[in-house]
Structure 1
Amino acid sequence: MSEREIILRLVLSCILGGAIGFERERNARPAGFRTNILVSIGSTLMMIVSLKVPMLYEATRSDPGDPGRIAAQVISGIGFLGAGTIIREGFSVKGLTTSAGLWAVAGIGLALGAGFYLSAFTATFLAILTLTLLSKVEKNISNVHRKYLIRVKAFDQPGPLGKIGSVLGENNIIIRDISIEHCYNEPNLYINFRVKKPKQIEVNYLFVLLTEIVGIIEVQIKELD
């Protein structure tokens, strides 16, 4: 492997990693433009080193060793970086796509380091396609259940939470997250629900159902992006 070949692989790694990172940066994700470039370049470099080290000692050793040994650690090591992009909010988890993207970028970097140019370019194209075009398809599918925030003010006593859950369940409304806040200087509390509501269930109808529950003082329903 010549020095020109090494430079070419690293430069291509920067370009392909940056292409995926640009999409992530445009959508304000935790791992953006620079992060993806660094992951890609680092993976490519580890692959090159992994290939070059056995060559250096090939003349002095009967067993040249495993040329993929160093590069193999990238796959497990990227998991620690990917875990840092995953955020848990109540019962929901965010950042899984970004984490998976970093793992894919690491794979692209390894492919470039090994000289598998076609594989790297194809994987980059498919990754960008998945993050852009297929994300729109996913949103269209998810629009069957639209996302809403339901904020309920209730008396601080047993019962309202279970009754609200029953009403939502009977109307096929999926609860994604629940949080409870105590009202300042009042014996009441706020219960916040992040839900997915079927299109056929009208907001006004849901509002009436919730206000009829004993112990409910106030109901607010807001559609989320």
Structure 2
Amino acid sequence: MTNGVASPWFIDNTHMLLRMGLALLLGGLIGFEREQSNHAAGLRTNTLVCLGSCLLMMLSMYGFGDFANETNVRLDPARLAAQVITGIGFLGAGTILFTGKSITGLTTAASLWVVSAIGLAVGAGFYLAAVTATGSVYFILWAMNKIEKRFLKGKREQMIRIYADDRSTLLQAINAIIQEQDIVVRKMTVSDQTDIHEGRVMVQMYVTLPKQLSIMLLVNEINDVGGVRGVSAE
């Protein structure tokens, strides 16, 4: 404090601990939801990201205050904070997986990015914005997930592999099932197999099922076709 005016480069221990504690709480709330949903980045990961972002924000704003009055020294409070956004991209990229039919982990990567932003907001003292963002994120991850499962479940693409002995009989049976169940085929691959234990022909399909059709019922129906040795679905 100089001449009764608080220095913008100084933070007392009470406010420092308050911000770190709030970062722990907000990051933990989002991490708890992720942990409940069995995602790769759960309680500990989200809490660590939020706390680390908060600490770096405070370090960027207050950590170099002793040099503020030095000659030819210009401090930029946003410099370290900007690097957090870049660094969190590497962590988020590790949660994204390409399975061959779809990309998974995008929501987890996005949640880590938002959690880091919440930590930065807490570190900068934007408490209301941080709390509001946490509530919004929790609504998006929990409530919108319920909406997706209820109304968009039938639009998800499924991959089905079928092993059988005869090509022509199998394709005719599959065509009949597709037409009867109103299944949309996005892609189909038919290949010959050398492993007689699995069958001589493998059919791989990417399909979109109607809402009323369960993937288990479809697998059982295909498995009952004569000459089918095995069926797998993802």
- Shared fold (TM-score, shorter chain, > 0.5): yes
Aligned to 2:155: 145
**Cα gap change, 1:109 to 1:182, in 2 (>3 Å):** farther
**Cα gap change, 1:51 to 1:151, in 2 (>3 Å):** same
Aligned to 1:100: 110
**Where in structure 1 are there 5+ consecutive unaligned residues?**
none
Partners in 1 of 2:191 and 2:142 — Cα distance? Answer: 36
Partners in 2 of 1:45 and 1:177 — Cα distance? Answer: 51
**Mapped contact 1:44–1:110 kept (Cα < 8 A):** yes
**Cα gap change, 1:106 to 1:177, in 2 (>3 Å):** farther
Partners in 1 of 2:207 and 2:93 — Cα distance? Answer: 26
State the Cα distance separating 1:176 from its structure 2 match. Answer: 8.0
Greater shift in the superposed pair: 171-180 or 126-135:
171-180
**Mapped contact 1:43–1:107 kept (Cα < 8 A):** yes
**Mapped contact 2:160–2:231 kept (Cα < 8 A):** yes
**Where in structure 2 are there 5+ consecutive unaligned residues?**
1-10
Q: Aligned letter for 2:196?
A: N
Within a 5 Å distance, the mapping from 1:44-193 to structure 2 comes to 44-145=54-155, 150-154=160-164, 171=182, 173-175=184-186, 182=193, 184-185=195-196, 188-193=200-205
Aligned residue pairs, count: 216
**Cα gap change, 1:148 to 1:72, in 2 (>3 Å):** closer
Aligned to 1:17: 27
**Mapped contact 2:161–2:233 kept (Cα < 8 A):** no
Deviation digits for residues 44-68 of structure 1, max 9, x if unmatched?
A: 0110010013422111134422110
Partners in 2 of 1:117 and 1:177 — Cα distance? Answer: 52
Q: What's the TM-score once normalised by structure 2's chain length?
A: 0.75
**Mapped contact 1:177–1:194 kept (Cα < 8 A):** yes
Give secondary structure in 2 for the equivalent of 1:90: coil
Which is higher, the Rg of structure 1 or of structure 2?
2
Q: Aligned letter for 1:193?
A: M
Deviation digits for residues 142-181 of structure 1, max 9, x if unmatched?
A: 13436655342245989x88x979x969x55154897989
**Mapped contact 1:92–1:177 kept (Cα < 8 A):** no
Partners in 2 of 1:181 and 1:88 — Cα distance? Answer: 26
1:40 to 36, 50, 64: 50
**Mapped contact 1:20–1:128 kept (Cα < 8 A):** yes
**Mapped contact 1:54–1:64 kept (Cα < 8 A):** no
Give secondary structure in 2 for the equivalent of 1:185: coil
1:198 to 183, 186, 210: 210
Aligned to 2:6: none
In terms of fraction of residues, the more strand-rich structure is 1
State the Cα distance separating 1:185 from its structure 2 match. Answer: 3.4
**Mapped contact 2:158–2:233 kept (Cα < 8 A):** yes
